[in-house]
Amino acid sequence: MNLRPVIAEALGTALLLAAVVGSGIMAERLSGGNVGLALLANAIATGGALFALITMFGPISGAHFNPVVTLALTFRRESPARQVLPFIAAQLVGAILGVWLAHLMFDLPILQASTKVRTGIGQWSAEATATFGLVLLILLGVRRAAASLPAAVALYITGAYWFTASTSFANPAVTVARALSNSFAGIAPTDAPAFIVAQVVGAALAVVMAELLDRRAS
């Protein structure tokens, strides 16, 4: 098997998490207790990094950086089935390493567990909605608007930080990794499983909707 795409997925996901968690730490330190300002800085930094990373790694691996994106693209035959397990493993490992890198850069203990509570129907419905929109955007855009997809995904995530109650994790690998950071971007480990279930539900609904829309368009 060609290891280049797997390495690209691991490296890209690691850098994405370093950006998410690192910018959250920096934003919290510099915002003077203004949570809205910290969230704005976190969202802009994440969106900017995501655009750059998709542009960088897209030609090598497709720049999934997300297990539900990999599964959805595989179901739609946009990604080879043989890459599913290596990609998901690479994304999980890369995400955790990216969080640890952020801790290292900001002189924090490498090994942590978040205490930030994120639970309830509002949070879960937000995660399902955020993931639904992200996966549907990718599934419909991968053929129709491939050139603009990196910018579209980055802008969607930046916006979803603000229009969802959960601040749009929309990614099981991101959720697992952020449970290992007791920082602005963290999520308590006990709350992570429900987020992941909501993300899987949102992604599944996006696949169904993409099938329906493509059938009507054909």
What is the value of pTM for the model shown? Answer: 0.96
Q: Where are the domains of the chain?
A: 4-217
Amino acid at 165: A
Q: Which CATH number fits domain 4-217: 2.40.50.100, 2.30.110.10, 1.20.1080.10, 3.40.228.10?
A: 1.20.1080.10
Please report which confidence band the pLDDT of residue 114 belongs to, taking 50, 70 and 90 as the band edges.
very high
Please report which confidence band the pLDDT of residue 204 belongs to, taking 50, 70 and 90 as the band edges.
very high
More confident residue, 216 or 110: 110
* Span 3-8, average pLDDT: 97
pLDDT digit string (tens) for 53-104? 999 999 999 999 999 999 999 999 999 999 999 999 999 999 999 999 999 9
Say if CB 41 and CB 202 are below 8 A apart.
Answer: no
Say if CB 29 and CB 81 are below 8 A apart.
Answer: no
Amino acid at 54: I
Say if CB 64 and CB 54 are below 8 A apart.
Answer: no
- Rg over alpha carbons for the chain, rounded to the nearest Å, is 16
- Average pLDDT in the chain: 96
Which pLDDT score is estimated for 214? Answer: 84
Ordered alpha helix ranges (H), 106-191: 121-144, 149-163, 172-178
